[in-house]
């Protein structure tokens, strides 16, 4: 049991239920790390072309050190035609000129390490770009040749092969197959692409593909990276014979309104098709685990796998496979005390079972920012982008809840992921002009899904400069909303109560109290009958309380307030008052 529990307020009695003991394994850094996602094209631009780059990141590393993160994960900066913002890789061993050079990468890595910040890079093994040399060779070669066999080429159906080989659809909308034209000009075979047609899927049954990616891992490990975030880690192996499936797949699948938070963390959503979560993927991760184990320094693999329930996801982080997996069940849970409690329980239980740390995440480059999701009519629901004419989030309420959600998350034991800009409380850009959109989702869905550009807008560093200081020329690859002026870093830094300072203090306290390797015991009865409006737990000696409202909650007077997501009203006695949509961290007075 935790060593210290909060005293009961006079009018109620509390009970505690331990669901996770302090971690015995604390030596590996990734078990408790706070990892900050950098989306390179939108973080900071040094060259002035309006697109963020590696020198831009290097120049801003001190911001991250001051914020107090343990590591960064960089979305792809490799050579790419950028049809899916770099998740379409043409050369896995080089930096795209948009972002700089390999020397720029090395410099960034050295400086990050000097500041005690570890660096994780993105690996995109499910598909390459159509501009990868292998795909060029495949197009030039004959059907059935070894050059074609690195991808998934099939003959079409129907008398003249004019129908796609099966019924699969792309995650971005439209068919998952594209027919090629043979070198002699005649219609040829079809190739599979679970994403955009410029992202052909590799055939992971081909040993050459496996060897190549082990070498890519070594290339970056030799340069000194601390780990890899593995893109679409549940998609690389497809069911034998590619059987027809007429379901649809969607990114980060999870909560469908009101269905979130069942006992096992499952939302009953899609992504059950024969292209996802096949048994064969695990063998790949076992071999990669061995590669990483040859290197010193606890290098790690992080799975991006839209797999449910959580017990199924935990299979990716068994002791001889990957080290972490993104907890999208948490991300997609609605703003609801009971639902959040059940997903936290399911997460800890599933990961404890395999001895892996649980991760927590609220935002990334594929979803509407949580400051906006939590201001929607169904708070926490996940539209695929928001644009003009769509229901707009309540910005103030969304931010208030986002800060509460973040303090709840950072109070939990395990590793936490932050997405660039959330430390500023950035909202989604919900009125971006449709003709500026660059996410292939927008046109592949025939303009029914706005997609992900709204969470990818270049960061505001200073309120008074053109482009809010993102680039020396003021140019930005997507336009920024006017509201970014009030979110800029320079107006928040040193301002008590700003979102940035709330994050910074939270990270400092999280480290000071070793919450990342800590425990979790639910505290009920604060006050009695509040299980649908209050979430309270103890991690080591820290009591974390989130009030989902609508009323104000009064905590016992013998608590010392450590941190709060908002300014708190003052009580006449010494009690801590927690208004709606607020999280506080407190501990027993010594």
Binding site for ligand GLC (CB under 6 A): 84, 87, 124, 195, 231-232, 251, 304, 365-366
- Joined together, the tokens standing for residue 473 give 């020329």
Out of 279, 294, 435, 573, the active site residue is 294
Taking CA 358 as the corner, what is the angle to CA 356 and CA 361, rounded to the nearest 5 degrees?
145
Nearer to ligand GLC, 20 or 127 (CB): 127
Sheet with 187-192, side-by-side order of all strands: 153-154, 187-192, 177-181
* Shortest distance in whole angstroms from residue 74 CB to ligand GLC: 13
Q: SS3 of 117, please?
A: coil
**What φ, ψ does residue 450 adopt, rounded to 5°?**
-70, -30
Report which of 420, 454, 459 is spatially closest to residue 439, judged by C-alpha positions: 454
Report which of 364, 343, 348 is spatially closest to residue 314, judged by C-alpha positions: 348
Out of 45, 70, 203, 231, the active site residue is 231
**What φ, ψ does residue 185 adopt, rounded to 5°?**
95, -5
Residues in contact with 230: Cβ distance below 8 Å, sequence separation at least 6, in sequence order: 123, 125, 301, 302, 303, 304, 322
* Shortest distance in whole angstroms from residue 126 CB to ligand GLC: 7
Nearer to ligand GLC, 195 or 537 (CB): 195
Residues in contact with 131: Cβ distance below 8 Å, sequence separation at least 6, in sequence order: 80, 81, 88, 90, 198
Query: CA separation (Å) from 345 to 62, 311, 340, 539?
Result: 36, 11, 9, 14
Report which of 417, 419, 438 is spatially closest to residue 428, judged by C-alpha positions: 419
Report which of 590, 541, 551, 545 is spatially closest to residue 564, judged by C-alpha positions: 545
* Shortest distance in whole angstroms from residue 439 CB to ligand GLC: 8
Nearer to ligand GLC, 58 or 199 (CB): 199
Nearer to ligand GLC, 254 or 549 (CB): 254
Query: CA separation (Å) from 276 to 113, 406, 421, 509?
Result: 36, 30, 31, 39
* Shortest distance in whole angstroms from residue 356 CB to ligand GLC: 21
Count the Cβ atoms, other than its own, within 10 Å of residue 389: 9
Nearer to ligand GLC, 404 or 457 (CB): 457
* Shortest distance in whole angstroms from residue 481 CB to ligand GLC: 22
* Shortest distance in whole angstroms from residue 241 CB to ligand GLC: 24
Q: How far apart (Å, rounded) are the C-alpha atoms in residues 237 and 318? A: 18
Would you call 231 a catalytic residue per the annotation?
yes
Q: How far apart (Å, rounded) are the C-alpha atoms in residues 442 and 287? A: 37
Helical ranges in 236-381 per DSSP H: 281-293, 310-313, 328-331, 337-354, 370-373
Nearer to ligand GLC, 105 or 195 (CB): 195
Would you call 294 a catalytic residue per the annotation?
yes
* Shortest distance in whole angstroms from residue 345 CB to ligand GLC: 27
Nearer to ligand GLC, 312 or 504 (CB): 312
* Shortest distance in whole angstroms from residue 366 CB to ligand GLC: 5
Nearer to ligand GLC, 252 or 520 (CB): 252
Bridge partners, residue 539, by sequence: 542
Q: How far apart (Å, rounded) are the C-alpha atoms in residues 330 and 324? A: 14
HEC profile for 138-178? HHHCCCCCCCHHHECEECCECCCCCECCCCCECCCCCECEE
Residues marked as catalytic: 231, 294
């Amino acid at each position: 049991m935790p060593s210290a529990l909060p005293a009961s307020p006079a009018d109620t009695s509390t009970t505690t239920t331990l669901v996770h003991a302090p971690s015995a394994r604390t030596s590996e850094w990734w078990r408790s790390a706070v990892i900050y996602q950098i989306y390179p094209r939108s973080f900071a631009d040094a060259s002035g072309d309006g697109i963020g780059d590696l020198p831009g990141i290097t120049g801003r590393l001190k911001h991250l050190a001051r914020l107090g993160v343990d590591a960064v994960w960089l979305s792809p900066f490799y050579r790419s035609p950028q049809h899916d913002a770099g998740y379409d890789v043409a050369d896995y061993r080089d930096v795209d000129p948009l972002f700089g050079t390999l020397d720029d990468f090395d410099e960034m890595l050295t400086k990050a390490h000097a500041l005690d910040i570890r660096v994780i890079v993105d690996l995109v093994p499910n598909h390459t770009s159509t501009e990868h040399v292998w795909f060029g060779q495949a197009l030039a070669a004959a059907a059935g040749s070894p050059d074609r066999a690195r991808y998934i080429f099939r003959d079409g159906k129907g008398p003249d092969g004019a129908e796609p080989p099966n019924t699969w659809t792309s995650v971005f909308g439209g068919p998952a197959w594209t027919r090629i034209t043979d070198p002699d000009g005649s219609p040829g075979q079809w190739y599979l692409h679970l994403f955009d047609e410029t992202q052909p899927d590799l055939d992971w049954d081909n040993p050459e593909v496996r060897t190549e990616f082990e070498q890519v891992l070594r290339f970056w490990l030799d340069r000194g990276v601390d780990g890899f975030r593995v893109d679409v880690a549940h998609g690389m192996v497809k069911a034998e014979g590619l059987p027809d499936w007429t379901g649809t797949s969607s990114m980060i699948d999870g909560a469908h309104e009101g269905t979130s938070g069942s006992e096992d963390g499952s939302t009953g959503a899609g992504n059950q098709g024969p292209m996802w979560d096949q048994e064969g993927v695990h063998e790949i991760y076992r071999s990669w685990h061995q590669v990483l184990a040859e290197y010193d320094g606890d290098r790690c693999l992080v799975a991006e796998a839209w797999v449910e329930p959580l017990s199924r996801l935990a299979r990716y982080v068994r002791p001889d496979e990957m080290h972490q997996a993104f907890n999208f069940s948490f991300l997609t849970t609605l703003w609801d005390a009971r639902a959040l409690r059940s997903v936290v329980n399911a997460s800890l239980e599933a990961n404890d079972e395999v001895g892996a740390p649980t991760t927590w995440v609220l935002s990334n480059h594929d979803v509407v920012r949580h400051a906006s999701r939590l201001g929607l009519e169904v708070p926490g629901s996940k539209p695929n982008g928001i644009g003009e004419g769509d229901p707009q989030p309540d910005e103030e309420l969304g931010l208030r809840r986002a800060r509460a959600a973040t303090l709840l998350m950072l109070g939990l034991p395990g590793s936490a992921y932050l997405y660039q800009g959330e430390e500023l409380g950035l909202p989604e850009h919900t009125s971006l002009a449709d003709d500026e959109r660059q996410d292939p989702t927008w046109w592949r869905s025939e303009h029914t899904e706005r997609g992900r550009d709204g969470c990818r807008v270049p960061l505001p560093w200073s309120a008074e400069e053109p482009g809010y200081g993102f680039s020396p020329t003021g140019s930005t690859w997507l336009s920024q909303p006017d509201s970014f002026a009030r979110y800029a870093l320079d107006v928040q830094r040193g301002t008590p109560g700003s979102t940035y300072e709330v994050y910074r203090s939270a990270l400092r306290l999280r480290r000071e109290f070793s919450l990342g390797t800590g425990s979790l015991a639910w505290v009920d009865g604060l006050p009695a009958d509040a299980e649908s409006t209050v979430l309270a737990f103890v991690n080591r000696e820290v009591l974390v309380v989130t009030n989902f409202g609508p009323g104000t909650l009064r905590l016992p007077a013998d608590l010392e307030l450590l941190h709060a997501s908002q300014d708190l009203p003052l009580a006449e006695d010494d009690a801590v008052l927690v208004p709606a949509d607020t999280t506080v961290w407190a501990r027993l007075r010594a």
